């Protein structure tokens, strides 16, 4: 292990977050760049997908809300690309190269599972088109909630600038989720829109679960191999414990408690997007969606069917 790697690991193990590229190994930097780019590209592609709904939203008030959400997503993109630029990433070139691609959407009936199909790094749900107002509402309701789980993961990561950037982003994402919730109630309680709401919910719910990726992918394994706070069985965010740690120190404490015999010993480098066991986050997301809908469903009881509004 190099001197730099030793110093980096000592800081992380001591609860000191990294603040600059000089403090990280090439492997850490590459992994971090990948994860930051995934979020940055998703924020930008997501904002682009909402733009038509400024003109198509049902009321003037809602047009304003959609415009606000577009502005939020573009701000999130600017913040994330700023973090990438600080690490020496050529943001201008990347965005120039992908700016047209970011607007590309697949057909509404396509099913791409967990695949990414363009050279940008957006999370794959952003390939699906938002064709109806119900799509817009359920995208807020499901996807922003799913993204919230991933952002919460970032709060426990070892790169300080990202942790600080997430706070403001998270607040705005919560507003998007609340917007989705209030409209879900309206659409679900109106007999004329109830059936459409159910169909639309089923569609976006599955797509949202797919954003958590495949647990056995090479990248997922890398993140988990590097993480002392995750058990190899994926129990960290399991159904009986859907809440994730809210601070790095807490994350380490919990991780220490939950580490199983034989778990990979390493540094809690980037417990981040893509690193969480998919099944656990599925359960956490499902639990939250259910409680938003006022369901009495107990998340500890596994269920495979999709909920009915």
Binding residues for Fe ion, rule: CB under 5 A, are 43, 73, 76, 144, 173, 176
**Bridge partner residues of 235 (DSSP):** none
Least separation in angstroms between residue 6's CB and Fe ion is 36
Per-residue CA distances from 12 to 8, 150, 228, 244, 248 (Å)? 6, 20, 11, 19, 10
Nearer Cβ to Fe ion, position 28 or 162?
162
Cα(99)–Cα(120) distance, integer angstroms: 9
The least CB distance from residue 143 to Fe ion, in Å, is 8
Task: State how far the Cα of 111 lies from the Cα of 304, in Å rounded to an integer.
Answer: 19
Collapsing DSSP to helix, strand or coil, 192 comes out as coil
- H and E: helices and strands count for the chain: 12, 0
Q: Which CB atom, from 24 or from 69, has the smaller least distance to Fe ion?
A: 69
Positive or negative torsion for Cα 176, 134, 99, 65: negative
Residue in 209, 207, 205 with CA at minimum distance from that of residue 306: 205
Q: How far is the CB of 157 from Fe ion (least distance, A)?
A: 17
Cβ proximity to Fe ion: between 23 and 73 the closer is: 73
Please give, one letter per residue, the 3-state secondary structure of 209-226: HHCCCCCCCHHHHHHHHC
Which residue, 142 or 197, has its beta carbon nearer to Fe ion? 142
Task: Give the residue with the Cβ less far from Fe ion, 126 or 223.
Answer: 126
Smallest separation (angstroms) from Fe ion to the CB of 130: 12
Q: How far is the CB of 304 from Fe ion (least distance, A)?
A: 28
Q: How far is the CB of 39 from Fe ion (least distance, A)?
A: 8
Shorter beta-carbon distance to Fe ion: residue 73 or 153: 73
């Amino acid at each position: 292990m190099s001197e730099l790697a030793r110093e980096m690991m000592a800081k992380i193990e001591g609860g000191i977050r990294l603040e600059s590229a000089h403090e990280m190994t090439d492997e850490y930097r590459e992994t971090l760049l990948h994860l930051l780019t995934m979020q940055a590209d998703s924020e930008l592609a997501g904002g682009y997908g909402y733009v038509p709904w400024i003109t198509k939203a049902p009321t003037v008030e809602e047009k304003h809300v959609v415009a606000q959400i577009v502005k939020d997503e573009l701000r999130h993109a600017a913040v994330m690309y700023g973090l990438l630029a600080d690490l020496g990433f050529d943001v201008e070139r990347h965005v120039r190269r992908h700016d047209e691609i970011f607007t590309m959407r697949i057909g509404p009936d396509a099913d791409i599972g967990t695949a990414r199909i363009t050279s940008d790094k957006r999370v794959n749900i952003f390939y699906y088109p938002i064709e109806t107002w119900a799509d817009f509402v359920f995208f807020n309701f499901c996807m922003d909630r799913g993204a919230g789980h991933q952002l919460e993961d970032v709060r426990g990561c070892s790169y300080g600038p990202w942790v600080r950037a997430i706070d403001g982003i998270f607040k705005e994402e919560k507003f998007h989720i609340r917007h989705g919730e209030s409209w879900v109630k309206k659409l679900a309680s109106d007999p004329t829109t109830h059936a459409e709401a159910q169909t639309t919910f089923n569609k976006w719910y599955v797509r949202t679960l797919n954003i958590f990726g495949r647990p056995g992918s090479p990248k997922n394994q890398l993140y988990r191999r590097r993480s002392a706070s995750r058990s190899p069985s994926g129990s960290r965010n399991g159904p009986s414990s859907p809440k994730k740690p809210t601070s790095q120190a807490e994350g380490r404490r919990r991780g220490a408690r939950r580490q199983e015999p034989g778990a990979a010993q390493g540094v809690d480098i980037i417990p981040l997007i893509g690193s969480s066991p998919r099944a656990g986050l599925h359960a956490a997301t499902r639990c939250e969606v259910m409680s938003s809908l006022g369901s009495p469903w107990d998340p500890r009881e596994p269920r495979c069917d999709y909920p009915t509004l």
